[in-house]
């Protein structure tokens, strides 16, 4: 959307003539601006094309989706990434269980209650947290959870680091959605004598829910591919590990990293296959976010 | 604001238990907000606590040394000079490439693209942000690096007199230089620069644009006279946010950049480690506290660096940024 209110002048311009140099400069600028857009599409198309063509072979076999790498030798192309998909989903889900309520409550605080220095500091810190590199978040969890509290490396430690990365995304998207709820709704509720907390829980949050849900799904997609936390906080396992608090657990990014040092052709197949699998899962979350948004908004 | 004092519910007619619920709910919300503030403080605190003993035991100069030898816990020698150099060089190259392109895309989306296509086009650019960084790393090392080799050789041969393009500490053949890493980082920070710039370009007052047209300006002259000056702070803020991302990017750099035993010397054709990739590369050996502390110290410097950059971005944008 542009900000112009009129697309065309009401009256044909009196001075049509534009000198050649100005016209050339104008056309040149138009060309450069279009070219910039084209430049951005090159890597996008290139990356996606590469991942799809090179990963296609791996993901078409059924065992890819229902077997782990247990007992598979580096040069064999067999088994699948079931264990890594399991790890990715479990780690992200546990992170969401912690980050979503916390993030929503923080957003409620910022929109409904927050005034004064704490609110200002919180908004600022949400922005800072959004800029904290994932390796720093991982290092912090290492320093706190493993080095100070003495817990072993585990999938749960990874989830804790992912919480830090998810939080700002959840807070921001929820905040935006809560701000969109019209004040009239709140006032009508207050006029009926309904207390503020109940108004928020029963009126404000349900109104904002579709947007919040899709924001949460996007936050999940964002942290799903994070590699730094899994490198620092958990080891790779070729088989399924259901223990969240102890032992190694695979995930798709970790499997990609692991198999990259495998020089066999089978390793390369697994690398690209896992990359395509990861992208498919993320794409699924994006589609789900769009669908949730559309469905729930239309029913209103 | 949604919570003007006048819209507060009247408090007198409320039964006591409901008021208690209100207090509980309010404190829960406040606690959640405070948790986020506490999280940042805790990050700084715990990194410092864990790093301090190692920095004290360090036998080399922390800021000036190019060494990073941590396998002998009794004689730690580590410094961040090389890490800082590689981090700054790769991020700066990423900025130099991504800022003009990002601004161009933002202009395209706000003022040049056909109106009905602006949203789909914008989503297309945002898709770049959805691709996980490990996939960019994969593409960077296996696909892009060999393609960039001729470009690097050309630059090295013709502009080698400039320190940036002089012979580095790794050979160009095979890719894996700071140059390659910078290009990959540029792709990765493009969406954030574009989206922040787009937001401010959209806010250019219609009156300014119409005034420029009324004076007979061509489209480019209109853009140069109204849109670009008006959006300057947003572009700077977006670039800062992009810089923050580039500084902290871990896995893509770790995969792309080739290691080098020699010290770097400000050439784009060097190899080496950034703060983030150094930490990630050693992550599997985090066992005894003192060597680990050396990496945590590097992590603290990275945290401080990104904190400053992101705070500046907010300051410049005056609280308008949502990246």
- Judged by DSSP in three states, A192 sits in coil
Q: How confident is the model at residue B285 (pLDDT cuts 50, 70, 90)?
A: confident
Q: Provide mean pLDDT across the span A151-176.
A: 95
Residue A18 has pLDDT above 60, yes or no: yes
Question: What was the pLDDT predicted at A6?
Answer: 64
Residues B58/B74, Cβ–Cβ less than 8 Å = no
Identify all chain B residues contacting A132, using CB atoms and an 8 Å cutoff.
Answer: 40, 43, 248, 303, 306
Which of A149, A151, A138 is CA-nearest to residue A253? A138
Give the whole-angstrom CA distance, residue B194 versus residue A36.
11
Of A85-94, B56-65, B157-166, which has the strongest mean pLDDT?
Answer: A85-94
Residue B174 has pLDDT above 50, yes or no: yes
Residues A133/A178, Cβ–Cβ less than 8 Å = no
Q: How confident is the model at residue A9 (pLDDT cuts 50, 70, 90)?
A: low
Which of B83, B77, B84 is CA-nearest to residue B59? B77
Q: Could you identify the residue written with the tokens 């004092």?
A: B5
Q: How confident is the model at residue B308 (pLDDT cuts 50, 70, 90)?
A: very high
What is the torsional sign of CA B280, B286, B290, B296?
Answer: positive
Residue A267 has pLDDT above 50, yes or no: yes
Q: Could you identify the residue written with the tokens 């309904």?
A: A194
Mutation site for A-interface testing, chosen from B11, B24, B32 by largest number of A Cβ within 10 Å:
B32
Question: What was the pLDDT predicted at B128?
Answer: 92
Q: What is the DSSP letter of B263?
A: P
CB contact under 8 A, B108 and A178: no
What is the torsional sign of CA B161, B83, B176, B70?
Answer: positive
Q: Provide mean pLDDT across the span B174-185.
A: 91
pLDDT in tens, B120-158: 999 999 899 999 999 999 999 999 999 999 999 899 889
Q: What tokens appear for B103 in the block?
A: 């601004």
Residue B14 has pLDDT above 60, yes or no: no
Q: Which residues contact B291 (CB under 8 A, 6 or more apart)?
A: B54, B70, B71, B73, B76, B285
Return mean pLDDT, chain B: 89
Residue B56 has pLDDT above 70, yes or no: yes
Q: Which residue of B has its CA nearest to A192?
A: B9
Return mean pLDDT, chain A: 90
Q: Which residue of B has its CA nearest to A42?
A: B187
Q: How confident is the model at residue B163 (pLDDT cuts 50, 70, 90)?
A: confident
CB contact under 8 A, A179 and B2: yes
Question: What was the pLDDT predicted at A78?
Answer: 83
Q: How confident is the model at residue A19 (pLDDT cuts 50, 70, 90)?
A: confident
Question: What was the pLDDT predicted at B106?
Answer: 96
pLDDT in tens, B250-283: 999 999 998 887 888 888 988 899 999 999 999 8
Question: What was the pLDDT predicted at B1?
Answer: 43
Question: What was the pLDDT predicted at B115?
Answer: 87
Q: What tokens appear for B100 in the block?
A: 């003009």
Residue B300 has pLDDT above 90, yes or no: yes
Count of pairs with CB atoms under 8 A, one residue in A, one in B: 321
What is the complex's ipTM, to 2 decimals? 0.90
CB contact under 8 A, B132 and A224: yes
Give the gap in angstroms from C-alpha B220 to the nearest C-alpha of chain A: 5
pLDDT in tens, B20-49: 889 999 999 999 999 999 999 999 999 999
């Amino acid at each position: 959307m542009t900000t112009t209110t009129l697309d065309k002048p009401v009256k044909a311009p009196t001075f049509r003539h534009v000198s050649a140099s100005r016209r050339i400069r104008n056309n040149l600028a138009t060309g450069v601006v279009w070219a910039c857009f084209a430049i951005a599409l090159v890597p996008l198309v290139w990356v996606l094309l590469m991942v799809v063509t090179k990963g296609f072979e791996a993901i078409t076999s059924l065992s890819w989706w229902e077997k782990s790498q247990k007992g598979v030798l580096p040069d064999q192309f067999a088994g699948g990434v079931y264990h890594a998909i399991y790890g990715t989903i479990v780690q992200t889900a546990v992170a969401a269980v912690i980050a979503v309520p916390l993030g929503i409550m923080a957003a409620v605080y910022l929109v409904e209650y927050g005034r004064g220095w704490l609110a200002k500091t919180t908004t600022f810190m949400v922005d800072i947290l959004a800029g904290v590199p994932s390796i720093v978040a991982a290092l912090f969890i290492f320093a706190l959870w493993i080095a100070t509290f003495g817990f072993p490396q585990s999938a749960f430690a990874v989830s804790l680091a992912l919480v830090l990365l998810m939080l700002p995304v959840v807070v921001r998207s929820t905040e935006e959605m809560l701000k969109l709820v019209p004040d009239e709704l709140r006032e009508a509720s207050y006029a009926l004598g309904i207390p503020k907390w109940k108004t928020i829980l029963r009126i404000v949050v349900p109104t904002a829910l579709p947007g919040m849900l899709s924001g949460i799904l996007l936050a999940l997609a964002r942290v799903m591919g994070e590699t730094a936390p899994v490198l620092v906080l958990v080891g790779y396992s070729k088989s399924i590990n259901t223990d969240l608090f102890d032992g190694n657990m695979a995930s798709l990014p970790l499997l990609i990293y692991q198999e990259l040092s495998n020089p066999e052709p089978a390793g390369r197949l697994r690398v690209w296959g896992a990359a395509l699998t990861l992208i498919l899962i993320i794409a699924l979350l994006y589609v789900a976010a769009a669908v949730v948004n559309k469905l729930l908004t239309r029913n209103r | 604001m949604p919570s003007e004092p006048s819209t507060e519910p009247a408090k007198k007619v409320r039964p006591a238990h409901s008021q208690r619920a209100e207090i509980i709910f309010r404190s829960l919300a406040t606690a959640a907000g405070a948790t986020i503030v506490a999280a940042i403080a805790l990050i700084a605190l715990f990194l410092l606590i864990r790093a301090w003993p190692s920095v004290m035991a360090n036998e080399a100069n922390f800021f000036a040394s190019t060494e990073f030898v941590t396998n002998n816990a009794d004689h730690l020698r580590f410094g961040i000079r090389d890490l800082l150099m590689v981090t700054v060089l790769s991020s700066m190259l990423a900025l130099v490439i991504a800022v003009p392109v990002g601004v161009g895309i933002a202009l395209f989306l706000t003022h040049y693209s056909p109106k009905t296509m602006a949203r789909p086009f914008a989503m297309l650019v945002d898709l770049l942000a959805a691709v996980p960084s490990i996939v960019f790393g994969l593409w960077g090392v296996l696909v892009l690096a060999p393609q960039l080799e001729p470009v690097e050789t050309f630059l090295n041969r013709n502009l080698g007199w400039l320190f940036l393009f002089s012979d580095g500490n790794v050979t160009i053949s095979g890719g894996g230089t700071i140059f390659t890493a910078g290009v990959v980082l540029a792709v990765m920070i493009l969406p954030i620069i574009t989206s922040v710039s787009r937001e401010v370009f959209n806010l250019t007052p219609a009156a300014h644009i119409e005034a420029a047209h009324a004076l007979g300006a061509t489209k480019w002259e209109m853009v140069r006279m109204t849109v670009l000056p008006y959006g300057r702070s947003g572009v700077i803020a977006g670039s800062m946010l992009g810089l923050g991302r580039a500084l902290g990017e871990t896995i893509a750099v770790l995969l792309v950049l080739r290691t080098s035993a020699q010290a770097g010397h400000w050439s784009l054709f060097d190899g080496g480690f950034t703060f983030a990739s150094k930490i990630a590369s050693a992550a599997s050996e985090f066992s005894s506290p003192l060597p680990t502390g050396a990496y945590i110290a590097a992590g603290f410097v990275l945290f401080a660096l990104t904190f400053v950059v992101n705070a500046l971005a907010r300051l410049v944008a005056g609280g308008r940024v949502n990246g």
